[in-house]
Every structure is written in C-alpha cells, then in structure tokens.
Amino acid sequence: METLCLFGLPIHNATLPEALAWILYAPPPPPGIKLYFVNAHCVNVMHSDRAYREALLRADGLFADGTGMRWAARALGHRLRDNVNGTDLFPLLCRALLGSGLRIFLLGGEPGIAERMRDRIGAQYPGLNICGTHHGFFLPDENDQIIQLIQDVKTDLLLVAMGVPRQELWLDRHLEQTGARVGLGVGGLFNFYSGAVPRAPVWMRRAGLEWLHRLYQEPGRLWKRYLIGNGWFLWRLAGEWMKQRMS
C-alpha cells in the first residue's frame, strides 16, 4: 500500500476496502493495531499538541479523511484514492463482521449514546457481537476500571469516540492493556450513527461540504474549528508547498 508524506505524517493512500481488510486481518495482539483518521482539524491540533503528534507517528495506520486532506494531497502532487473516514467505513465493517464472532466494544460519546448506537446496530445487523459499551465522560482515575471491563468481555475491536486528540492519546497509552486486537479512533461516529446528530445529505458529502453542514448544526462549538481552523490549515498547506518547491 502506497504511503504519502502529508504534513510530516505517513498517510496510507488506501481505499475503503483496503482499510477494511487491514482491520479484519491485522495480526493478533500484543500490542494491538492502532488506526486513526486524519483530517484538517487533526493537522491543526498536532501543531500545538506534541503528545498528539507523537501518538499519530506511533500509529500502525493513518488514513486521510475529508476534503481538506484531498486538497492538500493534490496541491503537493499526490492523488488520494479514497476519502477513508470512520463514518463511511463503519457500515462496511458491520457487514464484513457478520458471522465472524469478533467482538466489538463501543467506548465514547455522551452517556447513553453508545447504547443507542448498539441498539441501532442490533436492529440493522442482527447477530453482530457488540460485547460492551461505555460513555467517554470518565475521569482519569477510572481508566483502570474501564480497561478491566474491556478485557473481561474479550474485546477484539475497540472503537473509541472521544474526539481529537483525546481518543488517540487514550488508545496510544492503553490499547495494549485492553487486550483488543484493533483500536480505532472514530471521532463523531457514535453521534452520527446513533441518530443524535444528523449527517449531511449525500450531495453535500460528495461536494466536500459536510463541514458546512456540521457548522450549521453546532455553530457555537464548531465555528473556531472551521472558520478559523480552515484558515490555519491553508496557511500550513502553503508552508508545506513552499518547502516542497524549495527542496
């Protein structure tokens, strides 16, 4: 699989089916396989959070997520083969796991969201093994209890939806202790899939405008991320372009 260097990160230029195959056929633990999705916001965060950047560099796989990363790749002379994000990948994963016996744990979201997601999965994919859930609003001194819970139910695939950078930092520090075979940082997946937050219409996603739909839904929380953050991302992209031209 081709690897591109974008913003100093090794991005795997995968299709959705190739990313799915990595999840399904990853070797068994220890220490487990850590896979993350990187978008424009992630690039901005890593410039001010060294621990997060180092966690990304220690990941087993990084996938480019969103319009910003597609633009960045094109500006730097690359072509991304797919928009590999957790929300589009998840239905493919559910279908592939049916009948496999692999066990999924859902960690993250506000209280009740992971349970709503579990119920919806059960309705759409009967027989899929959701072995446990827990919300993401726990204190650091509760880590050991949650790790033990994930161990006890013999988790194979751990989905962590606690937002950037917390979900990647948590997986980087604790995945091996959980015993899970694969850890995925999935951002807003639980909110979308549970129905708590409606996803953008298909035409907006195809046009690269899903960020605008999210901004409309949650302007108070997301205006800095998109209106200011997009400007910073373009500034950083310009810096990468200049470095490439001068090398």
- Other CB atoms closer than 10 Å to residue 91's CB: what's the count? 13
Q: Which residues fall within 8 angstroms of residue 146, CB to CB, at 6 or more apart? A: 107, 134, 138
pLDDT tens for 48-98 read 999 999 999 999 999 999 999 999 999 999 999 999 999 999 999 999 999
User: Has residue 222 been placed in a domain?
Assistant: no
Per the structure, how many domains does the chain have? 1
Q: Which candidate, 212, 192, 196, 216, places its Cα nearest to that of 204? A: 212
User: Has residue 112 been placed in a domain?
Assistant: yes
Q: Which residues fall within 8 angstroms of residue 181, CB to CB, at 6 or more apart? A: 26, 28, 29, 32, 33, 156, 157
User: Has residue 219 been placed in a domain?
Assistant: no
User: Has residue 225 been placed in a domain?
Assistant: no
Domain that holds residue 42: 3-199
> pTM of the entire structure?
0.93
pLDDT tens for 110-122 read 999 999 999 999 9
- Other CB atoms closer than 10 Å to residue 183's CB: what's the count? 32
User: Has residue 217 been placed in a domain?
Assistant: no
